[in-house]
C-alpha cells in the first residue's frame, strides 16, 4: 500500500501556460503518459503481506518434529527459463514428509478486500503421488512445532494434489466455524513436468476465482460451491406419506388370467434328434440318456399384463419448510488474522519446485507478478525441456541399438564356438 506523502504547499506558478507552450509536443506527450502510468499504478496498488522469489530460505523455519524430516534445497531444476530467476524451493528426498513455515510481513485482515494467494509449482520429477499445495494459518502459528495435530489448524489450503491416475485436482479448502470445507466441484490440476502458476482469489462479495497460468479454471459463489451453510429448507418433520397413497403407476391387469396348463410346460426337454452312439456299451458306459435342450414351447414364469393404475397419484413429494437452523452469513470470505504460510507435504518421489509465492489483497499485484516471473520464462523452459527429452530418447535409442548389436555379436560368437566344437569332434572320430 502506497503511503500518502506529506507535501508542503507550493505557490501556484505564474506562467504555467507559457511553460507548456515552451515544451515540445514530444515532451508534452511523455509527461501525459507518465502521469497516466502513475494514476494506473496508484489505482492498482495494494498491500502485499508475503512475497518470496526464493533467493534464499531465510524466511522459512522447518518443523522440529522428527516425522517431518524431508530436506529442502534451492534449485531451478534441469530445465528453466532463467537459472537464477527460476530458482525455487525444491523437495529433495523420496518418500518423505515435508513441513516449512514462514510468517507474513504483517497480519492480513481481508475485511472488505480481496484475498489473493498465488505461487508456482513444477513437478519436474513427473510426480506419481504427492502434494503441491500451501496452507495459510492464523497469526502466531508456530511452524517449528508443526505436528500431526497443529498442521490441521489451517485457515485455507490451496494448490494441486496428484496421486496415481484418479487424483489430479486443485484443492480449495476453507476452515469455517472450526470445520474444514472442501469445494463441491472438481478442478483439474496440471500434471506435466513444467512450471505452472496457481492463483486463488477470494472476494468480499463471497465469490471466488481459481486460475492456472493466469487462465480462469473455476469461479462462482462461496455459498453455492461449499457447504458452509445449512440448507435454507428442510423436510417438514410433521408430514409423512399417507398410508393410502398410491405411487405405483402400473398394476397387474386383474382380468388377465394364467392359461390352463401353463405351468406344466417344462423348461427343457429331451433332444428328439439325439441318437444313442453305435459304440455305446450299456454295461461299461451305463444306461444311455439323451441330452436335454431348451423347450421352444416354454415361455418362462407367467406374469399378468401390466396396465395403468387408475388410483395412481404420482410420486409423493415431502413438503418443505424453512430451516430454523439456517442463518445467512455474508462474512464467509473474511479472515481477520492470517499470519503464516506453510508447505505441509508428503511426496513419494521428490523434485517438486515451488517459486514466486505472493499473498496480497490486490488482483493486479498478483497478475503483474505472474507477468514478471512466469510469462517471460515459460517458452524458454518448454524448449529446454523438449530438448532434454529429445536428447534422452536419442540416448535411450542408441543404448538399445548398442545392446542389440552386442547380443547379436554374442550369438555369433556362440555359433562359431559350436561350429568349432563340431569340427573338432569330427577330427576325433577320424
Cα separation, 99 vs 350, in Å, equals: 14
Return d(Cα 288, Cα 62) in angstroms, integer: 84
Q: Dihedral through CA 131, CA 77, CA 350, CA 198, nearest 10?
A: 0
Q: Give the mean model confidence (pLDDT) for residues 141-158.
A: 97
Highest-scoring range by mean pLDDT, 6-15, 218-227, 252-261: 218-227
Residue 87 and residue 54 in contact, taking contact as beta carbons nearer than 8 Å: yes
Q: What was the pLDDT predicted at 217?
A: 98
Whether the Cβ atoms of residue 388 and residue 193 lie closer than 8 Å to each other? no
**Model pLDDT for residues 86-128, shown as the tens digit of each residue:** 999 999 999 999 999 999 999 999 999 999 999 999 999 999 8
Given pLDDT bands bounded at 50, 70 and 90, which one contains residue 406?
Answer: confident
What gap in Å lies between CA 101 and CA 89, rounded to an integer? 12
CB-CB neighbours of 79 under 10 Å: 22
Phi and psi angles of residue 158, each rounded to the nearest 5 degrees, phi first: -145, 135
Q: In whole angstroms, what is the distance from residue 53 CA to residue 76 CA?
A: 11
Q: Is the pLDDT of residue 7 over 50?
A: no
| pLDDT tens sequence across 303-344 | 999 999 999 999 999 999 999 999 999 999 999 999 999 999
Q: To 5 degrees, how large is the angle CA 80–CA 84–CA 86?
A: 40
User: What is the C-alpha separation between 337 and 175, in angstroms, rounded?
Assistant: 13
Distance CA 391, CA 217 (A): 34
Residue with cell 518443523: 63
First CA to last CA distance, the chain: 105
Picking from 6-20, 114-128, 363-377, which range would have the lowest pLDDT averaged per residue?
6-20
pLDDT confidence of residue 430: 57
CA dist., res. 195 & res. 354, Å (int): 9
Query: Is the pLDDT at 424 greater than 80, yes or no?
Result: no
3-state class (DSSP) for residue 134: strand
Task: Report pLDDT digits (tens) over 283-295.
Answer: 888 988 889 999 9
Which class for 154: exposed (0-12), middle (13-18), buried (19 or more C-beta within 10 A)? buried
Give the single-character DSSP code of 72.
E
Provide, rounded to the nearest whole percent, the portion of the chain with pLDDT above 90. 73
pLDDT value at residue 401: 87
DSSP H/E element including 101: strand 96-108
- pLDDT of 16 strictly over 50: no
Left (φ > 0), alpha (ψ -120 to 50) or beta: where does 13 sit?
Answer: beta
pLDDT at 30 over 60: no
Q: Among the listed ranges 126-140, 184-198, 412-426, which one has the minimum average pLDDT value?
A: 412-426
CA distance readout (Å), 352 to 53, 84, 104? 15, 17, 23
Going by C-alpha positions, the residue among 215, 193, 229, 409 that lies closest to residue 327 is 229
pTM, 2 dp? 0.73
| Cβ atoms of residues 116 and 198 within 8 Å | no
Amino acid at each position: 500500500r502506497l503511503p500518502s506523502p506529506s507535501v508542503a504547499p507550493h505557490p501556484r506558478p505564474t506562467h504555467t501556460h507559457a511553460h507548456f507552450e515552451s515544451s515540445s509536443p514530444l515532451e508534452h506527450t511523455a509527461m501525459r503518459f507518465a502521469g497516466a502510468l502513475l494514476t494506473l499504478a496508484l489505482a492498482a496498488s495494494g498491500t502485499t503481506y508475503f512475497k518470496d522469489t526464493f533467493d534464499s530460505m531465510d524466511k522459512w523455519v522447518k518443523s522440529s518434529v522428527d516425522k517431518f524430516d524431508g530436506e529442502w534445497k534451492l534449485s531451478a531444476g534441469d530445465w528453466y527459463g532463467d537459472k537464477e530467476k527460476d530458482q525455487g524451493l525444491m523437495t529433495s528426498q523420496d518418500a518423505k514428509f515435508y513441513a516449512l513455515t514462514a510468517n507474513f510481513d504483517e497480519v492480513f485482515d481481508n475485511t472488505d478486500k480481496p484475498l489473493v494467494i498465488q505461487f508456482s509449482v513444477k513437478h519436474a520429477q513427473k510426480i506419481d503421488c504427492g502434494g503441491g499445495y500451501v496452507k495459510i494459518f492464523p497469526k502466531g502459528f508456530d511452524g517449528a512445532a508443526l505436528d500431526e495435530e497443529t498442521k490441521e489448524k489451517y485457515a485455507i489450503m490451496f494448490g494441486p494434489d496428484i496421486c496415481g491416475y484418479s487424483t489430479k485436482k486443485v484443492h480449495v479448502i476453507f476452515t469455517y466455524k472450526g470445520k474444514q470445507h472442501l469445494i463441491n466441484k472438481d478442478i483439474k490440476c496440471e500434471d506435466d513436468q513444467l512450471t505452472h502458476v496457481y492463483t486463488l482469489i477470494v472476494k468480499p462479495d463471497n465469490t471466488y476465482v481459481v486460475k492456472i497460468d493466469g487462465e480462469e479454471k473455476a469461479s462462482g459463489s462461496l455459498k453455492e460451491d461449499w457447504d458452509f451453510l445449512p440448507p435454507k429448507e428442510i423436510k417438514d418433520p410433521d408430514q409423512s406419506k399417507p398410508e393410502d397413497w398410491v405411487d405405483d403407476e402400473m398394476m397387474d391387469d386383474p382380468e388377465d388370467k394364467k392359461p390352463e396348463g401353463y405351468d406344466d410346460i417344462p423348461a427343457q426337454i429331451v433332444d428328439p434328434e439325439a441318437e444313442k452312439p453305435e459304440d455305446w456299451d450299456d454295461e461299461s458306459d451305463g444306461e444311455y440318456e439323451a441330452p436335454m435342450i431348451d423347450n421352444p414351447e416354454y415361455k418362462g414364469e407367467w406374469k399378468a399384463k401390466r396396465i395403468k393404475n387408475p388410483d395412481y397419484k404420482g410420486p409423493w413429494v415431502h413438503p418443505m419448510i424453512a430451516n430454523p437452523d439456517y442463518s445467512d452469513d455474508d462474512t464467509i470470505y473474511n479472515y481477520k488474522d492470517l499470519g503464516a504460510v506453510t508447505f505441509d507435504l508428503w511426496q513419494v518421489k521428490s523434485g517438486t519446485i515451488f517459486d514466486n509465492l505472493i499473498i496480497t489483497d490486490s488482483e493486479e499485484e498478483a497478475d503483474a507478478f505472474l507477468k514478471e516471473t512466469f510469462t517471460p520464462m515459460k517458452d524458454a523452459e518448454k524448449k529446454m525441456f523438449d530438448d532434454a527429452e529429445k536428447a534422452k530418447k536419442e540416448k535411450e535409442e542408441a543404448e538399445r541399438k548398442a545392446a542389440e548389436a552386442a547380443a547379436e555379436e554374442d550369438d555369433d560368437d556362440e555359433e562359431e564356438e559350436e561350429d568349432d566344437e563340431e569340427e573338432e569332434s569330427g577330427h576325433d572320430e577320424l
